[in-house]
Amino acid sequence: MRQALLHARVLLDDGFVDDRAVLIEGERIAAVVPADDPAVRAAATRHDLSGLTLLPGFLDTQVNGGGGVLFNDAPSVESIRRIGEAHRGYGTTGFLPTLISDDLDVVARAIAATDAAIASGVPGVVGIHIEGPYLNSVRRGTHDPTKLRNLDAGAVQLLTSLRRGRTLVTLAPEVASTGMIRRLVEAGVIVAAGHTNATYREITAALAEGLRGFTHLFNAMSQLTVREPGAVGAALDDRASWCGIIVDGRHVDFVALRLALRCKPIDRFMLVTDAMPTVGADAKSFNLQGKPISVEDGVCVDEMGVLSGSDLDMSAAVRNATAQLGVDLATAARMASRYPAAFLGFEHELGRIAPGYRANLVAVDAGVRVAHTWIDGAPL
């Protein structure tokens, strides 16, 4: 069944166009054609988008929860489904359910659940993000210190056990034995630095082993100082690696993010939410490994005021990027789609509105509020 999406402002590689129709065949984009092309009239289903803006669907690499569900609490296929449904309402058509530091049996259950979710066709899930437990306790943030451990050879088999989709592991390079990052990378794992107190030299050595990015830049990592650039300095100095940024104005000041965007190519920055169960839920409090967490001024904090994830969704992140970071809508949308797709190695199938790409799309109004989404051609 061919679908035609009509009368939208469409984001293509060269920018926005107003006179194109997007044709979907099954799970893929079949063509982008002039609005009066005969193939449009021949489509079995035509969706009149009435002047909405059509963007590549958002891809979030850091989703701890949503819809009242925390992945750590219930690492199951049903939890992944509910989290995806909650975030889809905000334009997220691809995501990595994210497990923060936990016991290794919980990590194993989360990997198995993700594999099963992909196998059973749960919409949107494209892999898993394992954030810890291989972190530095000095920069642990809200992570439970009793769960943290060093990365050694015994962890490799577990971290490389996902059969479908991508595995992203956030770790502190200084707690990994020499060569461990390289072993993970050679086995197909994407490795990012986070919750790290590493020196610039230690991060540089990790980059040489295959470190690909940085998890929530500025947060929970050694800072840039005049005599020791730290993890932040290494992230901004290296032009090839990707940086995830939480654009809510509370995790990082907007000035710091604007300065960061001037340090390396814009296509190496990707919007992430670090979302907690409160996104897409009425309740604005939950428990995190025994600690009560509540939303205050748009962020999740524990009783001591420690940041514990966010109440941010991807459509709000795009709005904030355009309003506060000095980027236009096209760039902000790519920071939420094309650039994370490249980070995950999906650059040939996700993140663009182009023939052959998966039909993961979001239609938004002038305020970047979501009206419609498609995941693998299926509309909602």
Range 125-163 burial, b when 16+ CB lie within 10 A, else e: bbbbbbbbbbbbeebbbbbbeebbbebeeebbeebbebe
Distance CA(109)–CA(105), nearest Å, equals: 6
CA distances from 25 to 8, 40, 44 (A): 18, 12, 10
Q: Which helix (H) or strand (E) holds 225?
A: none
Joined together, the tokens standing for residue 121 give: 């066709």
Cα-Cα-Cα-Cα dihedral of 322, 326, 331, 333, to 10°? -20
274 as an active site residue: the answer is yes
Entry field: residues in the chain: 380
Strands 2-6 and 9-12: unpaired
Return the biggest CA–CA distance within the chain. 65
DSSP 76-134: SHHHHHHHHHHHHTTTEEEEEEEEES--HHHHHHHHHHHHHHHHTT-TTB-EEEEE-SS
Note whether 56 and 350 are within 8 A (CB).
yes
In sequence order, the β-bridge partners of residue 3 are 24, 45
What the block records as the tokens of 266 is: 């814009």
- List the catalytic residue out of 274, 311, 365, 376: 274
Q: Where are the alpha helices (DSSP H) in the chain?
A: 38-42, 77-88, 104-119, 153-159, 180-186, 200-209, 230-237, 254-261, 314-324, 329-335, 338-343
- Which residues, 6+ apart, have CB-to-CB distance to 262 below 8 Å? none
Within 8 A by CB and 6+ apart from 159, the residues are 130, 167, 169, 184, 189
Q: Kindly list the catalytic residues.
A: 274
